[in-house]
Copies of this chain bind each other. A is one copy, B any other.
Amino acid sequence: MGKEDFGKYKEIYRENLLRHVLPFWEKHSIDNENGGFFTCLGVDGSVYDTDKFVWLQCRQVWMFAKLYSEVEANSKWLDIAIHGADFLQKYGRSESGRWYFSLDKKGSPLVQPYNIFSDCFASMAFGQLGKITGKAEYNAIATQTFYKILDAQDNPKGKYEKTYPSTRDLQNLSLPMILSNLVMELDHILDAKVVDEQLNSVKDKILSYFYKPEHGLIMENVGIDGGFSDTFQGRLINPGHGLETLWFLMDIAERQNDKELIQKCTDAVVSTLEYGWDSEYGGLFYFMDLRGNPPEQLEWSNKLWWPHIEAMIACAKGFYFTGNIRCWEWLVKLHSYTWGHFVDEDHGEWFGYLSREGKITHHMKGGKWKGCFHVPRGVLYLWELMAKLETNRAVQ
């Protein structure tokens, strides 16, 4: 591959973002009556459910603030971000300062703040909005929420935790994984010492406990000492989650100029893709069992949009940093699968859910878990990475 390829892909990602993805959300998701965003959107953008899921409200605020910061200072994007933030400020938090999981269309709480990732995405959203507006109010919400996350990190589910203590204590990847990204996002408001401490802490945790060099894979759940647990949770592999974690780690490695870590992550990207790819029908499995047992998740073999776009970012970063040709080859393969199955240039956005064989199972563009986030973030980062490759990297 060479400069021409980088330029070609750059155009594809730029065009997908600006012509097919953002217009979809700009046109269909804004609730002008009640505030906030609709995310349950049909194939053509029609609203089929009006509930508001705090993860997705926050992620859309973050996304439009990020676009304003990275692509252009377009006041339309700023307005959309502030539109979502207003709704979240009014209705999103309980008295405890923790963020509800979901609200009805008018903002009345539906599901209690049981899920710490609502807080993570709220902190990320208000942090980015604070960064582009300079408003202390937004930065304060981001910081307060961040410290609530740190306070809760040893028992993130609080009273909703159903695990009986001490029989089988496991640690889960998700929170250190999200923190590895969130701390970078809050760089401008957190004390530099806190940022360094947190980044080193989550990096060490992921590498020492969750990453298993003998498999080249990241586990979802491990023992408190990092040991393998031969249980449903302990055997669980989520290739897309592992790949997203790996590019978060590459961002930390870039910041810390840790070339060894970049190399390790790049190798793990390749081994995770080799492991997670469905050689029969193509695409990445959603869940797998390290021992090859049937996973408990009924949807284990379905193909979801987000593992594929996160995989593409991981490949592009791995290739950009190291020139590893296998990363480029995987990127091309993933691009081909993704553009052949998920992308919908007729109505905008991407489909999200396919059967193992690659047939669409959910004829919609957004729902309870799919909003304005993975696709636009992914094509934005891919566009940026292709532009950097075009400028910086000579033909291999």
Judge whether B298 and A361 touch: CB under 8 Å.
yes
Residue tally, chain A, CB below 8 Å to B: 43
Known: A49-B232, A110-B168. A302 touches B294 (CB 8 A): no
The listed residue (B110, B160, B167, B356) touching A110 by CB distance below 8 A is B167
Judge whether A104 and B167 touch: CB under 8 Å.
yes
Known: A168-B110, A299-B298. A356 touches B361 (CB 8 A): yes
Judge whether A162 and B48 touch: CB under 8 Å.
no
Closest Cβ of chain B to A342, distance in Å, is 15
What 0/1 readout, one digit per residue, does chain A (45-64) give for beta carbons within 8 Å of chain B? 00011010000000000000
Please measure, in the bound complex, the distance between the C-alpha atom of A362 and the C-alpha atom of B296, giving whole angstroms.
9
Contacts of A48 in B (CB 8 A): 291, 293-294
Secondary structure class of chain A's binding surface, majority of residues: loop
Tell whether A336 is near chain B: CB-to-CB under 8 Å. Answer: no
Tell whether A396 is near chain B: CB-to-CB under 8 Å. Answer: no
Known: A361-B298, A363-B294. A231 touches B167 (CB 8 A): no
Known: A101-B162, A159-B159. A108 touches B296 (CB 8 A): no
A293 to chain B: closest residue by CB: B48
Contacts of A109 in B (CB 8 A): 164, 167
Judge whether B112 and A296 touch: CB under 8 Å.
no
Contacts of A40 in B (CB 8 A): 293
Tell whether A224 is near chain B: CB-to-CB under 8 Å. Answer: no
Please measure, in the bound complex, the distance between the C-alpha atom of A356 and the C-alpha atom of B298, giving whole angstroms.
12
Tell whether A357 is near chain B: CB-to-CB under 8 Å. Answer: yes
Please report which residues of chain A, range 329-386, place their CB below 8 angstroms from some CB of chain B when the two chains form the complex.
353, 355-357, 361-364, 367-368
Closest Cβ of chain B to A118, distance in Å, is 12
14 A-B pairs with C-beta separation under 8 A: A40-B293, A49-B231, A108-B164, A109-B164, A110-B164, A110-B168, A111-B162, A114-B162, A159-B159, A160-B160, A294-B353, A295-B362, A298-B298, A301-B355
Show the binding face of A for B, using Cβ within 8 Å.
Answer: 40, 42, 48-49, 51, 100-101, 104, 108-112, 114, 159-160, 162-164, 167-168, 231-232, 291, 293-296, 298-302, 353, 355-357, 361-364, 367-368
